[in-house]
Structure 1
């Protein structure tokens, strides 16, 4: 070839490359007028006018305020004027804009992309999209250039009219785990969906070209440009927020707080949980849940919690759909949930989904990590009295993964620091989690969860206590098609406690209790269309209780055996719910659940005289039922209704009404849940609990959706809640109906929440005013408590305030402050003494007439991280802090002793001094 031809062709190639590069870097022109606006408003306006995708670190831009006026100038010129003399830089590439501080990001051509001539053509004339996908499921890496087009469905020359459905999964690009709660929004149709607990989504859209905007909590926002021919599937992989842009938020569209139809729902990510200081420094899910509005506890280091005036047994606590009956370790200082295993936490205080039943007040739904499907990773932590280890990785790459975690304690050294009389005490616990996830094919996934925990303690006595949880279940998720999928779950749950005395062989004894449940449920979701989602299913739980087994613990023991007969029952439910979007502003979710409860033999049931108290003196006869014979049936519908109306882009009004039934009761005449408390099934003499709640809330996001605010009011009614006669004996009681009283109650309150989600300073403030009253009005129950008048419940605490504040000075150093205040709980006190029949008697006040002193506590912690180099063997961090910073002696309870003929009162404080802590954490 002559040299002149070579020169000519080279010259033409250079011109083409220059032309292609010029087309790629061409930016839009905008007109703006800003006066001292914050970066969030600046970005929001530019996003709306350009359609570009903005990335930035809010912490670095907290102090920036923009004053600028421009008329039809290119975007790069506008940004140059805005950042002039500020030290801030920008970079524009492929419809994306990056803001940085000090140094600009270097951009270049994306691999394999030199521009597309299809941008201005109708979808049905696009000659050759970049990516070609048929109805088979395809992976779409997040790193792929977002301006590429992806064909979905069977390709045809001309796209017809009508709609088609896209379904698939959103997954973490690094670990392959599902991204729960990721939102997929389509601007053209103003429609969107949220991924479920498996990261699954399905959405119906008009055929043709669409843009999917994908956002996930803790993930880098992304988008996909698609051409929709017919039904098809996608796997969208998202990246974690990169280190240099760790706090990247495209805040302009984070409106889930406003747009979600449910109210009374709080979602926590594990990152937020780990920032809150707790006793001994280990992240604790239950301690953080207690900082949410409407959630309280009766005191420090307690096991249970109370939600909107409900008792502790009215909360359904689930971990991967396994029921956890005792969610605590080590006297309530630690929760049963390993923070390194947990992925997501949701608390339902109202708008409880139809698929949940069996409890009146709330559902705490904890989801564990599935395990890394791409590589082996792990983490470990060492504290003052506990340590933990977690490993995860692929069994079969991209298909099967596992997550294994465990915790244990070495607290004996701490107990030896106690006074002499307590130095021989012992306390320990351990727990183990194993989760396995396996993808069989495009339509079938299997999930296996197992959990084992055990606590043992002995406090300066010859009596040893222990309790344990054992749970296992398996889930099968099946996609029938793009619109219908099911989740079948089968599992077993077990809780047991044991008390043993052994030092004195003559009096040595063992006492144990256990509850076993075998459950099965089938949940179905049908996406009828983009406005209508239907949920339906059924579930069944078989209960087997052993309320008490008392027997000798040595051959020399003179203890007489005593066994309370076992109880068994079958609780079932069927439900149907529908979420319908009437307009873009009005959405309604309505459903009904019908529950059926059967109490079964063998059992010997006592019959009492009608219209008289159920006491031994009113006993008539008994009826004996054989094994599995039906003794008593309870049933009824449960209504679930909620609605949302948008009053503006960032403002909505929500309302809801729920009715629920509870067939199992926790028998406890102590203020806090104790390991020795006994569960009791509803039977012919103990009715199930019933409750209904109406709630109303207003939700408003501020400053480009970086601040969430909400106010909710509620009113709740309770019926057949169990309270106890004075002096009731709940252990080894063969006829518990003689000592319990069915009461009715009412609870009402207002909850405030302000939450800042981004920036160097973030956290939330919550305040709750609430009241809970009970009364016993059944004239057939005998003597009425408080003469039949309302009295405060044991957990009635009118005022509850929480402040959680976090401030990040840099990517390596941050601090957290927690402040808590609440009204003291009610107590009943002796108010006088008198003599009767020659002996001294004590006269008590009305039930719960007085209160212990108010509660106040502040905690502080510092988190120091190692360097953020990507390619290193381990990543380390330290957490140092102080629990109960001010050393306030908060009263847990009051008690009285008699000495030298004088009655003296005392306060018991759990943590009466500041408690320093340090934790070392490592990731590998």
Structure 2
């Protein structure tokens, strides 16, 4: 993609190439930048191009001389920018068109000019120390419309080092990554801007089983991640049991990912933080869109209610009731492997049984934004996520049928108030609630047995936060967080009669503080903080220090040091024998300070960065220890599946990232080496590789942009995850009078290596000034490589009634093409 250059540079090149003299005042062209005209343009075409794309008029006097003057007719629009609090004029504010083709700055009188013929209808206005705003070209006038910028409180993070991989992914100077979906670039395999899929493009973030519901950050399990929606914790991250993100990309505008050095305001996730935010500014113009792909239909609207208020609504719904596309069939085959959906009871009588499943999902998000004054903002959020599966078995000989059901639902809501007391002080308050329910009833067609299971989570609380900017060098942040979490697990079986109901409640009080120190701009950035947690049920205090340091050392090099202590009291237990129709095996549980301890982690990392000549190279070594894990939440399917023990794991490794950008092309390579080992003192052996010990992981990808067309292709590789196999020739032994599988040493073998190549393409078609059409095509696993994701073993009977060891293999998605069409208003 071409880059904008200063107008004065274009004029100097013009004078040299055509041996002409251009007469202009320096103040007239100062601050204006735009895309350079094509090389093949003649002198007359270049002057016409400059006249049409700047607020200036280029006039040929004779063969030698050209003059430049400010246009005086209605071919230009003008604006004048003021400080909203003091009324003073603002020089040096940046005004940029949405398509990036035109940019200028305000002069000493706070004025700017933009051509009325600009292709882009939306303008972004920004100034250091002020809130960035968007306006539309029609809001300007020939007589210079007045525009107010509101002073902003300097944030303690989000200082960008460089755009990474593609437009919309930024590496920050506090060690975090941000993903902005507005005008996002393109990643291989993406048909939508699925933020949790995009997060897996970052080094050290991946999923060993290709699902959203199992994101592993530096060797951690998914439940060790804190996933936030507008600062509210959510306990369900996926649709289609993990293949699709539960968060509608239409209104998910920004995502921040922390792997280490997490700010003190975040807790509860010992591996990483994935914080998602919807658009937070009141809209002044109607925006909407509708879309369709081969899995779901979607729609959103951003509607102004008044000058100071607007409403955002978005929704998605599966379309398999209308069309079971090849994508849906591939997804179904992938998710329903080794479940009661595909492995019906009594297979010897399979000819007398027919089965049918009905699956659907939807999500709805709503946000009310009200700026009650220049200093006060009220935000009201609501999100619901729902998955439903009905599985019906019909016995043909008796015409009887039974329907088993599985429902998974999350409801999240919150109301927040933000106040800007001054240029230096800002406070916020949030009251929230997060509810999750996993509900299943399993009916057996050959008996009258029914089994009902539920996992229910209710998380409510209050968050108070304040920031104060002492000076350009010092800023502090502090706050308080109260939460009450209640988790219930129930199981009810009618034959034989059995009922179990366990509910635990835990309250916590948290105070935190953070100091940001920037003694010399972005040369040195230090963020240090502490988070103090008190659990009244256990009368336990946990202190968590946090640190991030970024220091430039010259020549394009910088060093980055990060460290943190964290804890979490909510984890997931994995039950393979008492699962939900074999599909969902995880249920949330609460720490009880005995069999389920509070998990605690400590992590440190040190990295070297190089940024120069459109190169970004990052090498980072890390050490991470997580204590308090149990065998119940580690998904063992070997000799430890029914053993209960507590232990820890230690992950240590190196991440490497290299990214090179050209005008229209970006290529990147990421590599992770990691050694991840368990330590359970009461098991034998006590130390062995972690179930998700992925030693080597590599991604190579690139994107190319030509006008409105984007193309991306990428290759993913990782070494096979550890696995435990039966002892060859002695697979079955008798222990305590019971036949069991005899396994080799835990995780001493590995599954085959994983390979996948994806591609995607996007085209944006501008139908008119108010209507755009976006067309996406993506293909997952182009070469249809069927990767083995997991292998486990179970005892069953062969056709002669003899006991045997049965191997159950879980394989990846095959080649999966998808297509989407979105109309934007």
Check if 1:451 corresponds to 2:350: no
CA distance in 2, matches of 1:357, 1:828: 34
Instruction: Please name the residue that 2:64 is paired with.
Output: none
For residues 746 and 537 of structure 1, the distance between their equivalents in structure 2, rounded to whole angstroms, comes to: 31
Aligned partner (choices 77, 97, 108) of residue 148 of structure 1: 108
The one of 113, 116, 135 equivalent to 1:173 is 135
Q: Secondary structure at the match of 2:201?
A: coil
Q: 2:721 aligns with which of 795, 817, 825?
A: 825
Preserved contact between residue 687 and residue 720 of structure 1 (Cα < 8 Å): yes
Pairing of 1:577-726 with structure 2 (within 5 A): 577-584=514-521, 585-599=523-537, 632-648=538-554, 650-669=556-575, 675-685=584-594, 686-703=596-613, 706-724=614-632
Secondary structure of 1:907's partner? strand
- Quick check: 1:409 aligned with 2:318? yes
**CA 1:301–1:167 in structure 2 vs 1: closer, same or farther (change >3 Å)?**
closer
CA deviation profile, 1:148-204 (whole Å, cap 9, x unmatched): 3359xxxxxxxxxxxxx995421222499xxxxxxxxxxxxxxxxxx9xx9944499
Give the CA deviation at 1:401.
1.3
2:76 aligned partner: none
Matched ranges for 1:39-54 at <5 A: 54=6
Contact 2:173 2:525 in 1 (8 A): yes
Match of 1:471 among 406, 412, 417: 412
Partner of 1:887: 784
- Alignment of 1:922 onto 2:801: no
Distance 1:268 1:81 in 2: 42
Answer whether contact 1:261 1:588 (CA < 8 A) is retained.
no
Q: 1:507 matched to which residue of 2?
A: 449
Matched, 1:565 2:510: no
CA contact (8 A) 2:791 2:809 kept: yes
Cα deviation digits, residues 337-369 of structure 1 (max 9, x gap)? 111111111100011000001111111011112
- Separation of aligned partners in 2, 1:282 and 1:130: 38
Q: Deviations over 1:38-68 (max 9, x none)?
A: 998xx9xxxxxxxxx737xxxxxxxxxxxxx
Match of 2:684 among 763, 786, 796: 786
The reply to whether residue 304 of structure 1 matches residue 214 of structure 2 is: yes
Indicate whether 1:799 and 2:696 are aligned: yes
Question: Deviations for 1:679-726, whole angstroms, at most 9, x for unmatched residues?
Answer: 2222241321111111111122121xx332211110011211122499
The answer on 1:329 being equivalent to 2:239 is yes
Q: For the structure 1 residues 347 and 203, does the alpha-carbon distance in structure 2 shift closer, same or farther, using more than 3 Å as the test?
A: closer
* Residues 174 and 332 of structure 1, relative CA distance in 2, 3 Å threshold: farther
Match of 2:374 in 1: 442
Question: Structure 2 CA distance, aligned partners of 1:687 and 1:132?
Answer: 56
Q: Deviations over 1:860-916 (max 9, x none)?
A: 2222332x35524x21122123211000011122244663556464533132x3222
Partners in 1 of 2:461 and 2:155 — Cα distance? 32
Report the more deviating stretch, 489-498 or 588-597. Answer: 588-597
Determine the C-alpha separation between the residues in 2 that align with 1:480 and 1:690: 37
Distance between the aligned counterparts of 1:858 and 1:199, measured in 2?
47
3-state SS of the aligned residue for 1:173? strand
Give the alignment partner of residue 523 of structure 1, picking from 462, 465, 473.
465
In structure 2, do the counterparts of structure 1 residues 366 and 83 end up closer, same or farther at CA, with 3 Å as the change threshold?
farther
1:270 aligns with 2:181: yes
Matching of residue 773 in structure 1 with residue 685 in structure 2:
no
Change (3 A) 1:888 1:248: closer
SS at match of 1:755: strand
Higher mean C-alpha deviation, range 794-803 or range 364-373: 364-373
Alignment of 1:152-163 (within 5 A): none
Displacement of 1:642 in angstroms is: 1.9
Change in Cα spacing, 1:570 to 1:352, as seen in structure 2 (3 Å) is: same
Q: In 2, Cα distance between the equivalents of 1:700 and 1:310?
A: 28
Matches within 5 A, 1:33-182: 54=6, 78-80=12-14, 93-98=29-34, 99-101=36-38, 102=41, 103=46, 104-106=49-51, 107-108=54-55, 135-136=85-86, 146-150=106-110, 168-174=130-136
In the alignment of these two chains, the number of paired residues is 702
Indicate conservation of the 8 Å contact 2:282/2:371, yes or no.
no
Counterparts in 2 of 1:694 and 1:166: CA distance versus 1, 3 Å? closer
Q: In structure 1, what is the Cα distance between the partners aligned to 2:478 and 2:738? A: 65
Change (3 A) 1:271 1:799: farther
Matched, 1:854 2:753: yes
Q: Which runs of 5+ in 1 are unaligned?
A: 1-37, 44-52, 56-73, 116-128, 152-164, 177-194, 205-213, 219-246, 552-556, 600-631, 730-736, 778-783
Cα distance between partner residues in 2 of 1:512 and 1:460? 20
Match of 2:513, SS?
A: strand
TM-score by length of 2: 0.77
Give the match for residue 221 of structure 1.
none
What is the distance in 1 between the residues matched to 2:809 and 2:593?
A: 41
Root mean square deviation, CA, Å: 4.0
Q: Distance in 1 between matches of 2:671 and 2:655?
A: 6
The C-alpha deviation readout for 1:86-131, integer Å capped at 9, x for no partner, is xxxx998233243222443214459xx999xxxxxxxxxxxxx987
Change (3 A) 1:441 1:796: same
The equivalent of 1:744 in structure 2 is 648
In structure 1, distance between residues paired with 2:369 and 2:137: 12
Moved more, 91-100 or 372-381: 91-100
> Normalising to structure 1: TM-score of the pair?
0.69
Corresponding residue for residue 909 of structure 1: 811
Return the alpha-carbon distance in structure 2 between the equivalents of residues 766 and 474 of structure 1: 40
CA contact (8 A) 2:576 2:585 kept: no
3-state DSSP of counterpart to 1:916: strand
Change (3 A) 1:297 1:466: same
The 3-state SS of whatever aligns with 1:80 is helix
1:432 paired to 2:333:
no
Residue 548 in structure 1 maps to residue 490 in structure 2: yes
Q: Is the 8 A contact 1:574 1:593 kept in 2?
A: yes
Q: Alignment partner of 1:830: what SS?
A: coil
Distance 1:375 1:721, change over 3 A: same
Q: Do the aligned residues in 2 keep the contact of 1:175 with 1:372 (CA within 8 Å)?
A: no
Name the residue aligned to 1:535: 477
Which residue matches 2:101? none
Judge conservation of contact 1:437–1:447 (CA < 8 Å) in 2: yes
Deviation at residue 409 of structure 1 after TM alignment: 0.3
DSSP 3-state at the match of 1:831: coil
CA distance in 2, matches of 1:761, 1:297: 27
CA contact (8 A) 1:725 1:739 kept: no
Alpha carbons 1:750, 1:770 under 8 Å: kept: yes
Separation of aligned partners in 2, 1:527 and 1:387: 45
Q: Please tell me whether the aligned partners of residues 175 and 373 of structure 1 are also in contact (alpha carbons under 8 angstroms).
A: no
For the residues of structure 2 that align with 1:591 and 1:441, how far apart are their CA atoms?
A: 32
Q: 1:444-487: CA deviations, max 9, x gaps?
A: 11111110011012456542211011000111101222211111
